[in-house]
Amino acid sequence: MTGIRFLWVALVAAMVGWSGCAEPQPSTRPPQNEPLKVLNLEPLPEFSFINQDSTPITEATVAGKVHVVDFFFTNCPTICPRMKANMLTVYEEFVSDDRVVLLSHAIDTRRDTVPVLKEYSERLEVSAPRWHFVTGEKDAILGIARDYKLAANEDSTAPGGFAHSGALILLDQKRDIRGYYSGVSEEETAEMIGDMKKLLAEDGE
Amino acid sequence: MENKPKRRYLPLLLATGIPVLGLIFIFVFVDLEPDAVDASGQARYELHCANCHGKAGEGLRGLYPPLAKSDYLAQNQGNLACQIRHGLQGPIMVNGHPYNMAMPGNPNVSPKEITAIINYVNTSWGNDIPTVTQASVEKRLKYCAGG
């Protein structure tokens, strides 16, 4: 009898173990009502990139703006399309608000040239100056990702040749980081839109 | 008297054997479900396709074409298996709109999974396209251009 009992205990334990793997991860984000903390310890460095209209984009472009930063590449088969669908929601929310800028960095700098980024933005039916798709020197793009504390690397084993974080980063008018959100999550994107409105309200005080 | 020790193991054998046989039967039975009702289609679609084509087959503006109510989908049924396996390059027209983003292939998706995906897409979001069999998908995959 002990043999049978052991078999069933093992079987039940295995089933519980399997279902345990499918449990959703609890959110690590702070409660909604708390003020947004400044998350960077030191000021972010200057940068110089070029957008889909061949316009130079620097730290001056985002000075005084609530802005969202992310990293992607146009040939990305995995998380980028969902990030872009969520960024599109943000774009639509603030399309006529001059106080907001979206800044998407193309990390596949060899393939994602200015004309490629132009076609991509046109197919997405979005435009500068609300949403800049920027490219530049590869080391500069990957370097600023590290400055934003995001992972972005060339990786021949990853689908499409690059591995990068799917985060959206929210920065305030002073270029301080105020939040990190999952760009593949509709819920966290909605939360970010709420936080952007908080930052815009701070500006008016 | 000599048989008694042997008989003591008979209930044990039955008690372990029956559940094990039952489990084997369930796995075999599930495997033999007809292609058209393979419920894994939605999960496979959401894993491999929905990032670009959307959870409801809506696509993403001019970047990724819709699969819901798509004339291209209806007219290219014979090419779908190869397109899912090997991807798709170059411009296409879908419902009168041009699209030109490369679609990556899925070399590790099995014929069974491809069948489930096609049948999910063919019968979802207002689509009413006949389902396909795994045998027909396997046949198509043998003759993919360049594959």
For residue B85, is pLDDT > 50? yes
- Residue A31's pLDDT is what? 63
Mutation pick from A6, A75, A108, A123 vs chain B, by most beta carbons of B within 10 Å, is A123
Side chain identity, residue A141: I
> What angle in degrees, to the nearest 10, is found between the helix axes of B40-48 and B111-122?
100
For residue B11, is pLDDT > 50? yes
Mean pLDDT by 10 residues, chain A (205 residues): 51 41 46 82 96 98 97 86 94 98 96 96 96 97 93 82 88 97 95 97 74
- Residue B18's pLDDT is what? 76
Omega within 30 of 0 (cis) for the link into A129: yes
CA dist B30 and B27 (Å) reads 5
* φ and ψ at residue A58, rounded to 5 degrees: -130, -175
Q: Which chain A residues touch B52 with a CB distance below 8 Å?
A: 77, 81
- Residue A119's pLDDT is what? 96
What 8-state DSSP symbol labels residue A161?
A: G
Cβ pair B51:A125 closer than 8 A? no
- Residue A30's pLDDT is what? 61
Contacts of A87 (CB under 8 A, 6+ apart): A68, A70, A102, A104, A131, A168, A183, A189
Side chain identity, residue B46: E
Provide ipTM, 2 decimals: 0.73
| Distance in Å from the first CA to the final CA of chain A | 75
Positive or negative, the Cα torsion across B91, B92, B95, B96? positive
| Residues of chain B in Cβ contact (below 8 Å) with chain A | 12, 15-16, 19, 51-52, 54, 60-64, 100-102, 104
Cβ pair B62:A78 closer than 8 A? no
- Residue A16's pLDDT is what? 39
For residue B23, is pLDDT > 80? no
Asked if A95 and A128 touch (Cβ cutoff 8 Å), the reply is no
DSSP string of chain B, one letter each residue:
-TTHHHHHHHHHHHHHHHHHHHHHHHHHHHHTS-GGG-THHHHHHHHHTHHHH-TTS--BTTTB---TT-HHHHHTGGGHHHHHHH-B-S-EEETTEEE-PPBPP-TT--HHHHHHHHHHHHTSTT-------HHHHHHHHHT-TT-
- Residue B36's pLDDT is what? 46
Report the candidate in A1, A7, A16 with the shortest Cα–Cα distance to residue B23: A7
Contacts of A170 (CB under 8 A, 6+ apart): A36, A66, A67, A68, A177, A178, A179, A180, A181, A192, A195, A196, A199
Mutation pick from A1, A18, A82, A184 vs chain B, by most beta carbons of B within 10 Å, is A82
- Residue A79's pLDDT is what? 83
pLDDT category of residue B69 using cuts at 50, 70 and 90: very high
Percent of chain B residues past pLDDT 70, beyond the cut: 83
